[in-house]
Structure 1
Amino acid sequence: MTSTLAPETLTAADRCDRCGAQAYLMVKLPSGGELLFCNHHGRAHEESLRASGADIRDESARLAGS
């Protein structure tokens, strides 16, 4: 996936805006807002976010390396 988001990496301090778990997806909305999601909630909302034109950085591959 190509992302135009800044190259920063999400850290353990970054929390899901839905449930408070560690965030692995950073979403930049077309309106300029930003959302963070855990893997579960990111997958649950991914289709509608993509349809809205959101830019999604997915760092969930780090889960396999844990």
Structure 2
Amino acid sequence: MTTAVAPSSPLSAVDRCDRCGAQAYLRVMLPGGGELLFCAHHAREHGPKLREIATDIHDETGKLADTPATTPDSED
């Protein structure tokens, strides 16, 4: 018997942290099918315990380290 796990869909700005309401960057899948969403701050705070109980973790906190694109200075 094989079981396939559906890939997690990307998190977006409408996904909010269950602790504080900030943008979520971590999705934690729980046994039984529940899910929790966390901002980067709460993901760091609760990370060790979440890893003990999670069946899957979708982590997008790396997006916070991305450098935003810059535009060239305008020519005068």
Q: TM-score range by the shorter chain?
A: 0.7 to 0.9
Which runs of no fewer than 5 residues in structure 1 stay unpaired?
Answer: none
RMSD (Å), alpha carbons: 1.5
Question: More relative contact order in 1 or in 2 (CA 8 Å, sep 6+)?
Answer: 1
Aligned residues: 63
Structure with larger Rg: 2
TM-score, normalised relative to structure 2 = 0.73
TM-aligned CA distance change 1:20 to 1:38, over 3 Å = same
Supply the distance in 1 between the matched residues of 2:6 and 2:62 (Cα, whole angstroms): 17
**What letter is aligned with 2:31?**
P
TM-score, normalised relative to structure 1 = 0.82
Which runs of no fewer than 5 residues in structure 2 stay unpaired?
Answer: 69-76
**What letter is aligned with 1:19?**
C
How far has the Cα of 1:24 moved from its partner? 0.2
- For the 8 Å contact 1:5–1:57, the answer to whether it is kept is no
Give the % identical residues: 57
Counterpart in 1 of 2:53? 52
**What letter is aligned with 2:44?**
R
* Displacement over 4 Å in runs of 4+: none
